[in-house]
Amino acid sequence: MAYQKCLQTITKKACEWIELDIENYSLSVKAFMEDKEKREEVTRKDTEVRAAIEQVEITHAEDVIIKASKFKFKRDMDMFRKLQSLKFTTAPQAQAEI
């Protein structure tokens, strides 16, 4: 039950983030689920991508990976703060472009 609630919350937040109406999303999911061919194609591609990612061998030292992750997190937070400051003064389309 908690897992389902979590998925619903994540879906709602994702739809808000990309400015997609939840009803349109639901209709898209319904159409996708009814199209067996499309569903099999997406599942196959998803499996291929997951397999490719899992085969990547990590060759860097742990401290290098931690340093790179911290750098990326800091950059993401800087970007988030900049976008938050524009939230009330910039149109959603302009924010998406930024």
pTM attached to this predicted model = 0.38
Same-domain pairing of 49 and 72: no
Note down the domain range covering 73: 60-98
Same-domain pairing of 12 and 50: yes
Same-domain pairing of 66 and 97: yes
- 15-70 pLDDT tens trace: 888 888 888 888 888 888 888 898 899 889 989 988 888 887 878 888 998 999 99
Domain count, the chain: 2
Question: Residue 43 has which token pair?
Answer: 């599942």
Question: What are the CA-CA distances from residue 57 to residues 8, 46, 54, 72 (Å)?
Answer: 34, 20, 8, 20
Model pLDDT, residue 1? 87
Same-domain pairing of 41 and 66: no
